[in-house]
Each structure stands twice: as C-alpha cells, then as structure tokens.
Amino acid sequence: MNKLIINDMPQASVDQSTLRPGSGRHTGHLLPPTSLANAVDEDDVRPSSLLHASSPVSLPSPSRRVLILEDEPFCARAYSLALSQGGYEVDVVDNGEHALQMLLEQNYCAVVADLCLPGMSGLELLRCVRVHDLDTIVLLVTAAADFSSATEALRHGASQFLLKPLRSKQLVGEVNRAARLHDLAVRRRQAMRLLAADQEEESLRSSENQLISRAIGALRMAFQPIFGADGQVFGYEALMRSGEPAFKGPLDVLEAAERLGRLVDLGRACRSKALRDFSRAPQGTKLFLNLHPQDLLDDDLFAADSPLAAIADRVVLELTERAPLGENEELLRRVAHLRSMGFRVAIDDLGNGYAGLSSLVQIEPEFVKLDMSLVRNIHQNPIKLRLVALILETCRSLGIQVVAEGVETREEYDTLQNLHCPLFQGYYLARPAPLP
Ligand code: G
Ligand code: MN
C-alpha cells in the first residue's frame, strides 16, 4: 500500500514496491488438434520483470515571492522595498493584465493589489486569480474603504483589505501571514491529491485482490501423463488452468498473484486441488507438482501432517531455477528438508537458460526434465542430439531419471527412445486433461 508521509518538512513519499519475475510454472493450455505438430503453448511465454513502482512525490517548497500591482510609482517602490527587506522576492506591475500574465508564470504566495486601477481593478484581478489559482493570497489596498467593495473583496477570497497609507511593518506582517496561509493551502491541496491517488490505488488493488481471490477459487488442475519407455503411465504433471474469465490463462493468474503478493495462496490452492484430483489417478503413478521458488518459503509445504506429506513418496516437486536456487543456502536447506520428508525433486526445464547445470550439481535431483527446446526437432539437429545424449548418459550414471518434455512428433519420440531416454511427456503422447 502506498504510504503518505507528511511531516513538518514539505515532502511526501510513496512507497516503492518491487516484485520479482515469475517462474511460469503451472502453465499449460489445450491447443486445437490441427496445431499439434508445431504447437507453441501461449502460456509458456515467461513473465518479464513486474516492476510496479510509483515515483516519490514531493511537495513544492513554500513560495517567498510577492507580486505588487500598483500604478502609483511611489507606493510601488515603498512596498517593494519593505517586502524585499522582509525577505521576499518582489515583482512589480502597474496594470491588471500584466499582473495576470505574471501570475501564470510565477508561483506567488501573495499579491498586493490596489483596489482602484485603470484597466482592471484589483477586484477583477481577484476574480481572475480565483479562477486560475485558488491558493494565492490577495491583499487589497485602497485609499478609501468603501463597504461594498470590501465585502465583495472578501467574498472573492481576499485575505485582507488594507487601508492607505500603509505602514511597511504592517504590510510585511500581513504578507508574512499570507505566506504562511499560502504554504498551508498548497500543502493541504497536495496532500489531498496524494490521498486521492492513494485511495484510487487502494481501491484498484482491492478489486484486483477480489479478482485474484475469485481466480484462485475457480482454478482447476489439468494432468498431463508422463510415460515410461514401455508406454506405461509413470506419473502425471499437474498444470494449473484458470477458470476465471477475467484472466487470459494460467500465466495471467500467476502474474497477478505475484504482483499482489498472493503466490502463497495460489500455491496452496494448486497443491490442494491437484492432490484432491490425484486421488483418482491409477495406483503407483506419481504426481509431478510445479513449485514456485516462493512456495519453498511456505511453511504449509513443510507440515509433516499435511495430506500432501502423507503421500510424499508419490510426489515429485518440480523446481525451476528462476532465482539462482543453487546459490541460496536457505532454499537449498529447505529442498533438503522436503526430501527428508520423502518428497522427490525434479529440475524443470533443464536447458532453457534458467535451469542451468549448477542446480543439477547443487540439488542432485531424482529427476531432470529436459526443456522442450532441446527436444524440438532433435532428429534434425546433431548438436541437440549430442547434448541430450550426454545429459542422458550423465544422469544415468548418477541415478537421475530424465523426462523429455514437449515431445510433439513421432520423429522426436523415436530419436529419444533410441537414446534410451527413460521418460516422455508431450502432445505427441497425451495432452493435459482432467483426470477421469
Ligand atoms: O514449465 P513446465 O515444463 O512445467 O511447463 C509445462 C508446459 O508445457 C505446460 O504449459 C504444458 O501445457 C506444456 N506442454 C506440454 N506438452 C507440450 C508439448 O508437447 N508442446 C508444447 N509446446 N507444450 C507442451
Ligand atoms: Mn513443469
């Protein structure tokens, strides 16, 4: 929430909030069958940086500038001298039009204006000032007070009605008072502007929060099977699907949750719905669950008596190294703790640039999921072929099981089979769908 800080100093600041980029997990989208061969999942576009910051707002410093509107040169000089000595910057004009022009250009705390002037009277000027700037204080000076112009002047917000001859001490005193009033008025107006902006932001956030709550309530899980080399279902990856029309897809929901600080709620809802549906999955199959790095900070995940922990030996937690997981001691400790609870761990999207080999080294996962960019047209690309062969060989020797993700064609599938890849996932074999 934006904070409004107004103290003695004429400044206010608005909190800045920075949010980290998303992991793009829980993505998934059913494509029309015709686009099977070259399917590009629109939900796989990763969110870019979600910097959401407001710039600090500062109040203008109080003005110490006075405009004198006086056509008698002697008076004008006397006022000007007195106010300069009183610490003010002074501009002098002798007609109303010029005064208006100056008012547009400068920030005056006060205008000292003669009530009777050729062209535009002080009273008319006062009306114009009120149209253009509500805060400038106008002091009207006249030789002879007449009751009706005095009341008229006060009605238009003249702060003072001064009688000639005017003593310099009195003038400076009145202008000092005007400067204080002006300063207060400017600050109050600025504060109200900030408050209005704050409330607007607040109400926007609250409606966004309501929407994300609805989306979290409405989300469903789709399950995409992962097959062994023998064609048997080894497990299912649970993928989030948005049931709330205000969101385009799961990635939209994820982005909003990230921006509004609701990732923990989203993660919990995904896990509990996945777990509920997974009770219908065939015996012995595994549940692959995507985790956002922030899920690793959610104590719920670590509760030993949770329903998820109860089937930990059937659950594979997929981690994508968005933030450099391998360098974060605390996160590594948490991953180790999850494994001590019986969960298995997979490095997701290996080879897509985020999940690097360092996570493989640091986490020593039970599973590695080859990013689909390495799988795509592997049969036509000798470098991919060699690379994947090397990864498979290394993982085999370390006891890590490799899942080839995003297998879309028979050629890709056959090539990976020939390389003795143990596990397969992709549109060629099965699309994400609700569990029957
Ligand atoms: O980041 P992760 O690997 O968890 O993302 C899996 C995503 O890949 C899901 O959005 C899923 O729908 C999508 N997906 C699954 N199989 C295929 C496939 O064969 N091709 C493409 N393009 N996307 C796939
Ligand atoms: Mn995944």
Over residues 254-292, the pLDDT tens digits come to 888 988 889 999 999 999 999 999 999 999 999 999 999
Name the pLDDT band for 321 (thresholds 50, 70, 90): low
Q: Which atom of ligand 1 is nearest to the CA of 348?
A: 3
For residue 317, report the distance from its CA to the centre of ligand 2, in Å: 9
Name the pLDDT band for 363 (thresholds 50, 70, 90): confident
381 and 416 Cβ atoms separated by less than 8 Å: no
| Residues facing 344 on adjacent strands | 316
6 and 12 Cβ atoms separated by less than 8 Å: yes
DSSP label of 22: P
Atom 21, ligand 1: residue with shortest CA distance: 406
Q: What is the pLDDT of residue 27?
A: 36
Range picked from 129-143, 270-284, 316-330, 359-373 for highest mean pLDDT: 270-284
- Using CB distances shorter than 6 Å, the residues near ligand 1 are 24-25, 27-29, 39-41, 43-44, 224, 239, 290, 348-349, 372, 405-408, 426-427, 432
The predicted model gives 33-40 an average pLDDT of 30
- Asked if pLDDT for residue 71 goes beyond 50, the answer is yes
Name the pLDDT band for 218 (thresholds 50, 70, 90): very high
Q: Bigger pLDDT: 297 or 380?
A: 380
Q: In 3-state terms, what secondary structure has residue 159?
A: strand
Q: What is the pLDDT of residue 159?
A: 65
Tokens 């000595």 map to which residue? 85
Q: How far apart are CA 44 and CA 22, in angstroms?
A: 12
- Asked if pLDDT for residue 34 goes beyond 80, the answer is no
The predicted model gives 53-63 an average pLDDT of 53
Q: Which atom of ligand 1 is nearest to the CA of 28?
A: 10
Q: Which atom of ligand 1 is nearest to the CA of 407?
A: 19
Mean per-residue pLDDT over the chain, rounded: 81
Range picked from 14-23, 97-106, 138-147 for highest mean pLDDT: 97-106
Q: How far apart are CA 324 and CA 372, in angstroms?
A: 21
Lowest mean pLDDT among 122-126, 203-207, 219-223: 122-126
- Asked if pLDDT for residue 8 goes beyond 70, the answer is no
The predicted model gives 425-429 an average pLDDT of 98
- Asked if pLDDT for residue 123 goes beyond 80, the answer is no
For residue 337, report the distance from its CA to the centre of ligand 1, in Å: 28
The predicted model gives 41-64 an average pLDDT of 45
363: Cα separation from own chain's centroid: 31
Name the pLDDT band for 394 (thresholds 50, 70, 90): very high
| Single-letter code of the amino acid located at 126 | L
Range picked from 53-57, 155-159, 417-421 for highest mean pLDDT: 417-421
Q: What is the pLDDT of residue 139?
A: 86
Q: What is the pLDDT of residue 346?
A: 96
For residue 55, report the distance from its CA to the centre of ligand 1, in Å: 38
Name the pLDDT band for 235 (thresholds 50, 70, 90): very high
| Residues facing 236 on adjacent strands | 225, 287
Listing DSSP states for 331-372 in one string gives HHHHHHHHHHTT-EEEEEEETSSSB-HHHHHHH--SEEEE-H
Residue 296's Cβ-side half-sphere holds a number of Cα atoms within 13 Å equal to 27
